[in-house]
Amino acid sequence: MDDKLVPIPVRDMMCRHIGGKAPTAEMKAKLARIKLSEDNFTGEGLSAYKTLCAFIRSILDLCTEGDASGCRLVARDTGNSGRSNRGDGGMKNPDISVCKDHDEARATHQPATKANEDAENTEKAQASSEVATSWRCASLVIECKSSTSRDHPFSFPRASNGRLGKTPAICDKERDGAGSNRQAEKDNFLPQTHGAFKARSQISEYALHLMRSQPRQFCFMVVVAGCYARILRWDRAGTIVSEPFEFVKDSSTMVTFLYKYGTMTQEERGFDTSVVEAPRHDIDEMIVWKVGMVEDGKLSPYHTERFKDAMETKWPIYKVTIPRENLISAAELEPKVDEACVLEIHHNHILTFPQRI
């Protein structure tokens, strides 16, 4: 997996791979008023999650103003249920998930608080920012590590005694100086500790869940370590990882990324727009067709069972649009019996000649 992770400068990531709309001068003034406190990101506590959630929500709320209007995104603390209810320390849940703020998304994110057990508090629980991860609805996930953790997936500058100072990406093995510069650079980017390997496996699993649970071509992710962060872009060929950038004292890069993400189209966020959740009337039409086929005995028991499994589960039903020019007609599949090609093989050359038969 490590061979598929490639570091790039932050500027290249922002210019080449981040779509969306650049904030106007008026919007920049509003965004500049959103601040973070370093105290929330330099300790071991969990205050960073709630602080970061509120920070992200403040930015995403501005994305629905004026020309940037669109479906509102919200940030939710999805790691809390994993940290409190599981023995894996939250390793199976990203700390923060950004998702669409609509009724369906809220319904599929199960609240992680005990209020959900009480019918009177259901509405309160649904409004809570602490929910369990729904991979079907998550658009962007953010993983947070403390500044003092030794389990960072990548190298990060580290806060020491209240002052920010860069520390090298640590390799537990002693180096004898004989390794190549290329290997040294790789180890400096990807720490070779057991905890670092485990952390990279963790975030790659998040990307796997997103890509398998949604019609995706690629997805973005943010990894936070103390006051620093990296932006990742995953696709099926590999992952590009931005250099670390400070986002607490100077939040401009993080603010710009989140604002542009909030104003992106679904296609710019990595979604395959030829695949969408089927509207209710299409699903109803398909159900009527299936019932008629079953009553007429035109479906085998196997097909009937498969339709039942597909349409009576909680998984969504998708509508796939295929361009007409990509369709293969039955005529094109017919064998071409009236024409063949003769190959004459010469030294280093293959010559083809059409021949009637």
Q: How confident is the model over 291-328, as pLDDT tens digits?
A: 999 899 998 999 988 888 888 767 778 899 988 888 88
In angstroms, rounded to a whole number, what is the distance separating the alpha carbons of residues 303 and 290?
10
The predicted model gives 44-48 an average pLDDT of 67
Asked, for residue 271, whether it belongs to a domain, the answer is no
End of a domain among 230, 263, 296? 263
Domain co-membership, 292 together with 174: no
pLDDT range class, residue 152, cuts 50, 70, 90:
very high
Query: Per DSSP, which regions of 210-346 are E strands?
Result: 218-225, 228-235, 239-242, 245-246, 275-277, 318-320, 339-346
Q: Per-residue pLDDT for 217 more than 90?
A: yes
Of all residues in the chain, what percent are helix, strand and coil, respectively (each to 5)? Answer: 40, 20, 40
3-class secondary-structure state, position 39: helix
Q: Per-residue pLDDT for 344 more than 90?
A: no
Asked, for residue 309, whether it belongs to a domain, the answer is yes
Query: Whole-prediction pTM value?
Result: 0.75
In angstroms, rounded to a whole number, what is the distance separating the alpha carbons of residues 258 and 147?
22
Domain co-membership, 282 together with 259: no
Number of domains in the chain: 2
Q: Per-residue pLDDT for 235 more than 90?
A: yes
- The answer for residues whose C-beta is within 8 angstroms of residue 348's C-beta and 6 or more apart is none
Domain co-membership, 317 together with 180: no
Domain co-membership, 258 together with 291: no
In angstroms, rounded to a whole number, what is the distance separating the alpha carbons of residues 260 and 140?
13
pLDDT range class, residue 64, cuts 50, 70, 90:
confident
Domain co-membership, 244 together with 317: no
Q: 26: domain range? A: 2-263
Q: Per-residue pLDDT for 280 more than 80?
A: yes
Asked, for residue 269, whether it belongs to a domain, the answer is no
State the number of CA atoms in the 13 A half-sphere of 253 facing the CB.
22
User: Residue 163, exposed/middle/buried by CB under 10 A (0-12, 13-18, 19+)?
Assistant: exposed
Q: Per-residue pLDDT for 343 more than 90?
A: no
End of a domain among 263, 295, 315? 263
Helical axes 252-263 vs 25-32, angle rounded to 10°: 120
Q: What average pLDDT is seen over the chain?
A: 79
What pLDDT does 170 receive? Answer: 35
pLDDT range class, residue 131, cuts 50, 70, 90:
low
Domain co-membership, 154 together with 290: no
Residue 293 phi/psi, 5-degree rounding, is -65, -40
The predicted model gives 171-181 an average pLDDT of 45
Domain co-membership, 175 together with 120: yes
3-class secondary-structure state, position 219: strand
* Residue 145 near residue 152, CB atoms below 8 Å: yes
Asked, for residue 35, whether it belongs to a domain, the answer is yes
The predicted model gives 84-101 an average pLDDT of 71
Asked, for residue 268, whether it belongs to a domain, the answer is no
> Tokens representing 340?
């063949």
Out of 227-236, 317-326, 330-339, which region has the weakest mean confidence (pLDDT)? 330-339
What pLDDT does 229 receive? Answer: 96
* Residue 134 near residue 99, CB atoms below 8 Å: yes
* Residue 141 near residue 98, CB atoms below 8 Å: yes
* Residue 12 near residue 91, CB atoms below 8 Å: no
Domain co-membership, 45 together with 87: yes
Domain co-membership, 210 together with 243: yes
Domain co-membership, 211 together with 324: no
Domain co-membership, 236 together with 314: no
The predicted model gives 339-353 an average pLDDT of 55
Q: Is the dihedral of CA 266, 270, 272, 276 positive or negative?
A: negative
Asked, for residue 208, whether it belongs to a domain, the answer is yes
Domain co-membership, 123 together with 213: yes
Q: In this structure, what DSSP letter does residue 91 have?
A: T
Asked, for residue 52, whether it belongs to a domain, the answer is yes
Q: How many other CB atoms are there within 10 angstroms of residue 27's CB atom?
A: 19
Asked, for residue 27, whether it belongs to a domain, the answer is yes
The predicted model gives 213-233 an average pLDDT of 96
